[in-house]
Amino acid sequence: MAIKVGMLVFFFAVMVAVGVYCRKNSQDVDGFVLGGRSVGPWLTAFAYGTSYFSAVIFIGYAGQFGWKYGVSATWIGLGNAIIGSFLAWAILGRRTRLMTQHLNSATMPEFFGKRFACDKLKVAASAIIFIFLIPYTASLYNGLSRLFGMAFGVDYAWCVLGMATLTCIYVLLGGYMATVINDFIQGIIMLGGIVAVVYAVLASNGGLMQALSTLSALPCETNPTLSGAFVSFFGPQPLHLLGVVILTSLGTWGLPQMVGKFYAIKNEQAIQKGTVISTLFAFVVAGGCYFLGGFGRLYSADIEYAANGTPIYDSIVPQMLSHLPDLMIAVVVILVLSASMSTLSSLVLTSGSTLTLDVIVPLRRGQMSEKSKMLCIRALVVFFIVISSLIAIVQAKSSVTFIAQLMGISWGALAGAFLGPFLYALYWRKTSRAAVWSSFALSLIIMCGDMFCNFTGRIFINPYFASPINAGMLAMIVSLIVVPLVSLLGTRQDKKSVDAMFACYERSVVVNAATALGREND
């Protein structure tokens, strides 16, 4: 216990110290929200990765999908690395940085408002972000409940309050720079921790080959004709696995807290390096989490079950870890705490800055001083943390749902609403205002319809889309289809103004020969 408490106290002290150190970088809105757009590749890449992977992944998704799909759940981690990290950086990184700076937009709603010359779009996007980030934030706390109970015997409510208070302190003190520096520290912990945990769990089951052999002998209730279902290449339910890969990988392209990392990156070299660093980070962390979860069925005799016999998925990974030595448990606690706090800080900063800059400032008709804007952002950060904390506590006490459902609803609504509009707005001049509204509306209809059907016991479209995860995948696919379709059929934006926006991509820059060959005599 002394080891675990000591490591926890040291971790907390470092986080607060970083917040104090970064106070000088958060004296104005640009510094507090974007770090002055001067953040280097390592900090940005780790901030992207740690915002991506939280306790929702480590405890909720790894447990649930490892149980359902076995080691084939590792495909989810690989998809996160290739689609959610590498391709996201390669396709969105440079254009996002150029266009948002050119339009002087600090948030995704502000980007929509200026790109399509429509303040109503900005307000609508802000409302969607604020509403649907709350259940996602609440889900972050849930991942800690069983883990802290197992390690310290502490009531869940105290875990929530402690994590919320600490995150609030360093975000309020240091803003974006404190967040990304702490993300870097937390990312190193996550990298080392996941490698150590995977090794320890496999060792406790006789090594990799013995663990795989034991897992291969287990029967599969969803596909009983498939021999060795949980060690097969695509697992017992390939189509459902595909839905998870698409939601958790392609979804990052439309999440404001993820895309926002590209706003603040320093330069071209930082984008190139950040792409590699972020991808490797995702391979280790996401791949390791889902690979670990794939062995959850080896602990089927020890985990908790609901009254209907269904496993309580959030209990699987904590039970896997409960047999480890105290030092390793301490490492895991810090690992999951790091993953959750890094994501929480990104979410609350995104929400507070979005509401202030995109809703409150326009309502005041721009009559707010820099000091007033800063005060408003900080107040909303506190408000957002308090609300999400209360929801997390109430949800846990009433056992309304589990982690993956909360995250699936949030990711589906946000990514479905923003994926198509944001991607096409960066690349295609003909993207229309009506297309953006269509994507917003259809995403909300799909996710709200799915929630309603789940609560009332009805079937949404068909049984495959009953899962919020598969419904979220549907919302994203619809967004990618409906935006170009409506844009081609509807009224287009003024050509001159659009050309002026896209001029940021056409200005000439000087590069060295390693980047472009040029002419032989140059």
Higher pLDDT, 9 or 217: 217
490 pLDDT exceeds 90? no
pLDDT band at 462 (very low <50, low <70, confident <90, very high): confident
pLDDT at 474: 92
For the segment 219-245, the average pLDDT, to the nearest whole number, is 88
- Determine the pLDDT at residue 284: 93
pLDDT tens across 297-351, in order?
A: 998 888 888 778 888 887 888 888 777 777 777 777 777 777 777 777 888 888 8
**pLDDT > 60? residue 417:** yes
Confidence tier at 241 by pLDDT (50, 70, 90): very high
Supply 148's token pair. 């802290």
Question: What average pLDDT does this structure show over 171-190?
Answer: 84
Of 126-130, 232-236, 272-276, 404-408, the one with minimum mean pLDDT is: 404-408
Q: In the predicted model, what is the mean pLDDT of residues 88-106?
A: 90
For residue 40, the model assigns a pLDDT of 79
DSSP string, 196-235: HHHHHHHHHTTSHHHHHHHHHTS--SS-TTSTTGGGSSS-
Question: What are the backbone angles phi and psi of residue 187, rounded to the nearest 5°?
Answer: -65, -40
Least trusted range by pLDDT, from 65-79, 149-163, 450-464:
149-163
- Give first-to-last CA distance, the chain, whole Å: 67
pLDDT higher than 80, residue 135: no
pLDDT at 374: 86
CB atoms within 10 A of CB 90: 13
Helix or strand run (H / E) with residue 9: helix 2-21
Is the pTM higher than 0.75?
A: yes
DSSP 494: P
State the pLDDT at residue 179.
Answer: 83
Average pLDDT along the chain: 84
* Domains with residue ranges and CATH for the chain: 2-11+40-505 (1.20.1730.10)
- Predicted confidence (pLDDT) at residue 149 exceeds the cutoff of 70: no
pLDDT one-digit tens code per residue, 382-409: 888 888 788 777 766 665 544 546 667 8
- How far are the Cα atoms of 93, 448, 487 from residue 276, in angstroms, in the given order? 12, 37, 34
> Percentage of the chain surpassing pLDDT 90?
27
- pLDDT > 70 in the chain, percent: 91
Per the listing, tokens 């790894």 go with: 62
Per-residue pLDDT, 459: 83
pLDDT (mean) for 369-385: 86
250-309 residue pLDDT tens: 989 998 888 888 887 877 778 888 899 999 999 999 999 999 999 989 988 888 887 788
Distances 392 to 165, 286, 518 between C-alpha atoms, Å: 14, 24, 57
Residues 68, 314: Cα–Cα separation, whole Å = 13
Q: Which residues pair with 39 in a beta bridge?
A: 265
Average pLDDT over residues 425-449: 94
